[in-house]
Amino acid sequence: MREVMIGNFAIARGLVEAGLELAAAYPGTPSSEILPGIIEFKNREKLAIHAEWSTNERCALEVAFGGALAGRKAACMMKQVGLNVAFPPLLHGYAQPLKGGLVIVSCDDPGPQSSQTEQDTRLLAAHFGIPVFDPASPGEAGDIAYYAMKYSCEHKVPVIVRSTHRVSHARESIELFVPGSRKVKLDEGLKLKGKGRIGIVTSGMTCSITMDILDELNLGDKISLYKVSRVFPLGTEVIGFVNQQEKTLVLEETDVTLEALLDHGFKVLGRRSGHVPSAGELTYDIVRDIICRFANDHGISVPEFNADTSIEDALKEIQIAPRPPKLCAGCSHRASFYAMKSAFPDAVFPGDIGCYTLGISMGAVDTCLDMGGGVTFASGFYDTFAQDGTLKPILASVGDSTFFHACLTPLYDSVLKKRRFVLVIMDNSTTAMTGLQPTPQSGISADGTSTYSIKIENIIKGFGIEFLRIVDPYDIPLLLRTIKEAYEYLETESAGPAVIIARRECLLFSKIREEDTRDMARLVAECTGCKICIKTFDCPGSYFDEEKKKICIDEGLCIRCGMCYYACPTSDEGKSLKELKKVRNEKKRREGREDSKK
């Protein structure tokens, strides 16, 4: 039987067919669909697999590791930067002989498209001495997942399967087997035998792209191609292949791994020799250019690809709407950020990782380092300002899933040290950016059954945090007043961190309720064309029509939450918010006057 599926589901299928018994993961693009895939196939095949969303990647790896030590076939999944969180167990992991099997699936993000940084999992695997496989297509990813589990059981070591977004999010028809019956032979070796004495060593999706390009350029019989699937430990055949070539070009994502492992000095060309760009995704066009140059440099004449620049010339006059990543129309995070920014326009805004990182476009997120980094940054900023004897407003933000993932330790540290900042926990009851996975608060486990729910407010209270408010972010005036109130609290002698939970279900997750659908006609009718809402609210549900000189509602995107009325200076809502802002300004001005009197 065959079925069209994405690479991540193919990986899930391979693992399930290999007899997987225990799976743990933390979501992160592009790895998030693997665990749901495992649950899907587990249900279909009626198997007893324990599958869970862990609180973070380290928990996921240690849970799976424990299972493997105790004799289970276990797997854990994460994205490449998630693997950093799981370093402690990974570092020493290879030295613990397993009774069962352990496959770690780590998905890299060349580009990066949805990460803070590119990172090559294969390089870390080689560094730590852990076998790593690099599939070149969704179909092969399924095979390799299956093979990796067998390999791990056989050699009693953890094994890493490294996918990239182009493999994880590609779709093709995959063959399904009865669990245990898949026959996998590692697809590695000489794929093309050229007449010349130059060759290419490649792995992963870059290998597939390279094959298509050699076909397009009719180079299939001129340049030899060696495909690597197991990057570490590297087979000896590939070294033989490189020995036979005059020059070998290495094409791989994301960093210098094969190139470093081959280590044939000047015989090997790649990133270190400047033939391959040192960063960024190896797109079809980039690989085509590299191969053209490589061929031409070595006496195989290939016409270089000349882009038709008249396309760009003609497009110059067209105003292509820029589409930076944006919060959804009607997202409650936008309302929270708007209130934060309105309350203290000059505050320091340490941010975190999730949908709400996008608050950067509203000027309400200043930093984005790593999961949980916002709270710790707020602490560092507070300590710095305190040394200078000033109390600057610090408004940190973090989402609910990231709060559980990485914020508990930094937060109780701040309680102990009485650091004065406001933490807004943007609680939308889900892990939205990676596809709506449950959080420890959701009360839902990975397979949809109900479970215990840990309330964020109970944790906050347990830490002994004195200032705690729970607010619906759609009530922007209330949130604004609450933030000001929190700051007033911070000015008292014995203050520690103040926490506001801005709670509203993610609209991708909840059915929009009747009371949230407001009449948007007034916004358009009373629009004076000042564009302030465009600048400060930045909602994709509306756009400015340059011909009519008025705001327009995008009927397909707008959910009629009406929050944008607060960003409109001529509307009643906007005016009332302005009054609220003024109160603070007057107070500040008064204080300023008193200060100058002194």
Partner 1 sequence: MGDNKGEVEGANNFYDIQHRKYDVRKGLFAMNLQIVCAGIGGRGVLLASTIIIETAIKAGLKAMASDEYGMSQRGGSVVSLVKVGNFASPLVGRESANILLSFEESEFYRNLPFLKTGGVTLVNTSRQLLSANIERLLKKRRVQYFLLDADAIAMQKGMIQSSNMAMLGFFSAFDITPFSCDNIKETIRQKVKARLVEKNLEVFQAGYESAQSFQLSADSKNQ
Instruction: Provide, rounded to whole angstroms, the least separation between the CB of residue 331 and partner 1.
Output: 8
Whether 235 contacts 262, CB under 8 Å? no
> Three-state SS for 55?
coil
Comparison of 233 and 240: residue with beta carbon closer to partner 1: 240
Tell me the C-alpha distance between 459 and 410, whole Å. Answer: 13
DSSP conformational letter for 545: E
Comparison of 86 and 228: residue with beta carbon closer to partner 1: 228
Comparison of 106 and 245: residue with beta carbon closer to partner 1: 245
Comparison of 61 and 81: residue with beta carbon closer to partner 1: 81
Instruction: Provide, rounded to whole angstroms, the least separation between the CB of residue 387 and partner 1.
Output: 36
Comparison of 173 and 517: residue with beta carbon closer to partner 1: 173
Instruction: Provide, rounded to whole angstroms, the least separation between the CB of residue 553 and partner 1.
Output: 13
Tell me the C-alpha distance between 504 and 563, whole Å. Answer: 13
Whether 447 contacts 48, CB under 8 Å? no
Whether 453 contacts 552, CB under 8 Å? no
Comparison of 388 and 555: residue with beta carbon closer to partner 1: 555
Q: How far is CA 393 from CA 201, 353, 584, in A?
A: 55, 21, 13
Comparison of 188 and 573: residue with beta carbon closer to partner 1: 188
DSSP conformational letter for 405: I
Instruction: Provide, rounded to whole angstroms, the least separation between the CB of residue 186 and partner 1.
Output: 8
Comparison of 207 and 577: residue with beta carbon closer to partner 1: 207
Q: What is the bridge-based pairing of β-strands 224-228 and 498-503?
A: unpaired
Tell me the C-alpha distance between 237 and 228, whole Å. Answer: 10
Residue 149 CB partners (closer than 8 Å, separation 6+): 14, 15, 18, 19, 20, 73, 75, 101, 103, 159
DSSP string, 141-161: HHHHHHHHHHHHHHHTSEEEE
Instruction: Report the amino acid identity of residue 406.
Output: A
Residue 558 CB partners (closer than 8 Å, separation 6+): 329, 330, 520, 541, 542
The H or E element that residue 335 is part of is helix 332-343
Comparison of 206 and 342: residue with beta carbon closer to partner 1: 206
> Within 13 Å of residue 40, how many CA atoms lie on the same side as its CB?
13
Say how far residue 89 (Cα) sits from the centre of its chain: 22
Instruction: Provide, rounded to whole angstroms, the least separation between the CB of residue 311 and partner 1.
Output: 5
Instruction: Provide, rounded to whole angstroms, the least separation between the CB of residue 557 and partner 1.
Output: 5
Using CB atoms within 10 Å of the CB of residue 415, give its burial: 0 to 12 exposed, 13 to 18 middle, 19+ buried.
Answer: middle
Tell me the C-alpha distance between 421 and 98, whole Å. Answer: 46
Q: Which of 239, 305, 313, 252 is nearest to 120 (CA)?
A: 252
Backbone angles phi, psi at 440, to 5 degrees: -60, -15
Instruction: Provide, rounded to whole angstroms, the least separation between the CB of residue 360 and partner 1.
Output: 11
Instruction: Provide, rounded to whole angstroms, the least separation between the CB of residue 273 and partner 1.
Output: 22
Backbone angles phi, psi at 6, to 5 degrees: -80, 165
> Three-state SS for 410?
helix
Instruction: Provide, rounded to whole angstroms, the least separation between the CB of residue 307 and partner 1.
Output: 6
Comparison of 96 and 116: residue with beta carbon closer to partner 1: 116
Comparison of 196 and 443: residue with beta carbon closer to partner 1: 196
Instruction: Provide, rounded to whole angstroms, the least separation between the CB of residue 329 and partner 1.
Output: 6
Instruction: Provide, rounded to whole angstroms, the least separation between the CB of residue 441 and partner 1.
Output: 20
The H or E element that residue 333 is part of is helix 332-343
> Three-state SS for 24?
strand
Instruction: Provide, rounded to whole angstroms, the least separation between the CB of residue 358 and partner 1.
Output: 7
Comparison of 188 and 352: residue with beta carbon closer to partner 1: 188
Instruction: Provide, rounded to whole angstroms, the least separation between the CB of residue 104 and partner 1.
Output: 24
Comparison of 216 and 572: residue with beta carbon closer to partner 1: 216
Tell me the C-alpha distance between 257 and 252, whole Å. Answer: 8
Instruction: Provide, rounded to whole angstroms, the least separation between the CB of residue 1 and partner 1.
Output: 13
Comparison of 170 and 500: residue with beta carbon closer to partner 1: 170
Tell me the C-alpha distance between 232 and 135, whole Å. Answer: 13
Tokens of 303: 């016409």
Comparison of 147 and 487: residue with beta carbon closer to partner 1: 147
Say how far residue 440 (Cα) sits from the centre of its chain: 19
The H or E element that residue 106 is part of is strand 101-108
Residue 455 CB partners (closer than 8 Å, separation 6+): 441
Instruction: Provide, rounded to whole angstroms, the least separation between the CB of residue 28 and partner 1.
Output: 12
